[in-house]
Each structure stands twice: as structure tokens, then as C-alpha cells.
Structure 1
Amino acid sequence: MKKDAQFDLAIAKLAFKTHHFAFELGRAFFEQFDQSLIQEGDLHADLDLTKTDRLLTLDFHIKGTVRLTCDRSLEEFDQPIDVQHQLLVRYGDQDLELDEDVFQITPDTQTLPVAQHLFDYIGLAIPMKKLHPRFQNEPDENPEADSKLIFSTRSDADENDDEPSDPRWDALRNLN
């Protein structure tokens, strides 16, 4: 990934209050990443950062369109994206990713890069099956796709077993 300082937040200089940041995400933004999923888009990202003495709360709202290729017809189309996501960054003795939405940084950290988070949130909003809008209202080719999956731990071989069962298991089966 190429580094663009535009997406680095200077958190050391921020006061303890809520700050608003706005980013325009276009072709240049997506070219920073070595990937083939998204080549271009026209998105606007709003970021509200609330800073306290122990925690940074980042509320992302990303809205716009990304250019995708249809899986069925290989035509390009614009997929609308509207994402809201929250990221928590707490202070600790080392830099760690504690959870997918919780990070830990050291108190002497000067900047917080958000480009990768913006890209990840956009990527998660893209559907697994990328269909051109003209195909989205067609019925699915597999009629059994909507059927329910029923799971049973008992197999047919268990039912036809003529061996006597252990009485301890029979007593446990009666506990309902």
C-alpha cells in the first residue's frame, strides 16, 4: 500500500472533544491498495472523532458508488454504498489489534492512519455476488437455494442398530 498522508489524523494535537473530518474517495484512493476488487469509485466519507483522555471513538459514514464488474455479464456498473461503522481506539502500553473494531495504541502515538479502515469498510459493503442491476430482480437459477437446511445428529444407521444400548445413555436420553 502506498502511503497518503491525507488519511493520517494528527491525534496528538487534538483537544478532548468531537472533531469532524471529511474525505473524498475516488480513483486515486483505490490505487493506493494492491487489490483488484475496486478500481474506482465516487464516495464521500464523514468521520466524527471523539477524543477523551483514555479513548478515541471514530464514527465512519461512507456514502457513494463504486464501479464493479458484473459476475454474470462482465459489464461494469455502479454499486451504491452506504456504510456506518464505529471504531474504538484505546490507549495502552503497546500497539495491538484487540478486536476487529477495537485497537490499542500507545499514548505517545502522533498520527492515526484511517485509509485502510475506510477501504475495509467499503470492501465489506460490497455484495458477495456482484450482479448488474438488470439481473438483480431475476429469480435465482437454483430453486433449492431458498430451501431450509435441516440438521440431525442421528443417522439412518443409528436407527437400524440392533445392538442393545448402554442403560446409562438411555437414562440420560430420558432427561428432558
Structure 2
Amino acid sequence: MNVDMKLLKEYTIPFVGLKLGKHHFDYQIDKKFFEHFEYDEFNDVNVKAELLFEKKTTFLELHFKIKGDVNVNCDVSNEPYNQKVKGTFDLVVKFGEEYNDEHLDVLIIPHGEYEINVSQYIYELIVLSVPAKRVHPGVEDGTLESEMLKKLEELSPKAEENKTQSEEIDPRWNTLKKLLTDK
């Protein structure tokens, strides 16, 4: 993934200049943010990301919180809808010999680093907050009218069952059924 960090510099926090203690950062995330990550699953994005950045003497604590919605296409009907997303993520940043992000919630950055870019964490938190199966609320409560749903309904096994039951049964089958029950 080739993310242009220059375009995401507003997500770079120069922590070396921050006093010890808590600092708040608020970000309004839109579709453009995801274009930097070449991620195009969302039609539209309106998410507020809050970061509580706590600078301690030997490490940093980052508490991310997101809330908002992303416009996605329903997996069943392919109709676009707004999917609510919310989530939290805590990250501890420590200093070490070399950069290491192998652990999910611990990042080690080299001594002497003076800034950290948080865009990747916000990106992942939003993407992971979207349910694996995206279902339009109108599909769940039966209010969505769509060509795709009508087609699915026609092709569903239930519709086939109803069709066969309503068609008249060929009288020859009745004779055969009789043979089976007359044993």
C-alpha cells in the first residue's frame, strides 16, 4: 500500500513538542481520506475520529474513538445505505532500538523519533468497524423495494416450493402413491 504521507500530514503528531499529559485531537474523516489508502469500498464517509493522546515520561498512550457512518452497498440487494460505525482502539507507543509494529496494540519506534502518524490506525479502526456482512436495514425489515430483491425472491427455493404445491398434481402420481401406501 503506497500511502502518500505528505497528504496525510494533518495526522502526524509531533509529540516531541507536547507537554507531558493529555492532548486531544479531532479529525473529520471523509471519502478523500480513504483514497489515500486506495480503498474504494465506501461510497461516502462521514466519521468523527477522536484521539486522546497521553504523553508520559517514557512512553505514549493513544486512545482512538470513532463514530459516524459509511455509505456502502448491501451484500444482498446491492443498494447503497448508511452503515453506522463506532469503535475504540488503544495503542501504547514505546521507544526502542528499532521500529516494530508486530504487536497489535504496541508500537515500538526508534529512540530519537519526534513524531507519529496516526492515519493508518484510524483507517484500520473504521474499516474493521464495518460488519463483515453488510445488509441494508430495508432488507431486514422488508421495506426495501428493489429489482435485485424481487429477482432473488423469484429464484429462492421457497418460491419454487409454493409454485409446485399450487399446481395441480398429475392424477397418475396419485395412482403410484397409492401403490406405495397399499403395501
Map 1:59-98 → 2, pairs under 5 A: 59-98=63-102
Letter in 2 for 1:6: E
Q: CA separation of 1:39/1:111 partners in 2, compared to 1, >3 Å: closer, same or farther?
A: farther
Q: 1: distance between equivalents of 2:56 and 2:87?
A: 25
Residue pair 1:71, 1:129 contacting (<8 A) in 2 also: yes
Unaligned runs of 5+ in 1: 142-176
Displacement of 1:34 = 1.3
Compare the two structures and name the one with the higher helix fraction. Answer: 2
Q: 2: distance between equivalents of 1:123 and 1:72?
A: 19
Letter in 2 for 1:97: D
Superposition CA RMSD, Å:
1.5
Q: Which residue of 1 aligns with 2:139?
A: 135
Q: Which residue of 1 aligns with 2:4?
A: 2
Q: Which residue of 1 aligns with 2:147?
A: none
Q: 1: distance between equivalents of 2:69 and 2:110?
A: 36
Question: Of 51, 55, 61, which aligns to 2:55?
Answer: 51
Q: 1: distance between equivalents of 2:22 and 2:115?
A: 16
Larger Rg: 2
Q: Which residue of 1 aligns with 2:25?
A: 21
* Matched position secondary structure for 2:123: helix
TM-score (norm 2): 0.72
Letter in 2 for 1:56: L
Displacement of 1:38 = 2.6
Q: 2: distance between equivalents of 1:137 and 1:82?
A: 22
Question: Of 38, 44, 48, which aligns to 2:42?
Answer: 38
The runs of 4+ residues in structure 1 deviating greater than 3 Å are none
Residue pair 1:30, 1:40 contacting (<8 A) in 2 also: no
Displacement of 1:107 = 2.4
Unaligned runs of 5+ in 2: 143-155, 157-183
Q: 2: distance between equivalents of 1:27 and 1:136?
A: 27
Which one is further off, 27-36 or 4-13?
Answer: 27-36
* Matched position secondary structure for 2:87: strand
Q: Which residue of 2 aligns with 1:118?
A: 122
Letter in 2 for 1:18: K
How big is each residue's C-alpha offset from its partner over 1:96-150, in whole Å with a ceiling of 9 and x where there is no partner?
A: 0141111101221121011111010011111110110112357xx9xxxxxxxxx
How many corresponding residue pairs?
A: 139
Displacement of 1:39 = 4.3
Residue pair 2:14, 2:114 contacting (<8 A) in 1 also: yes
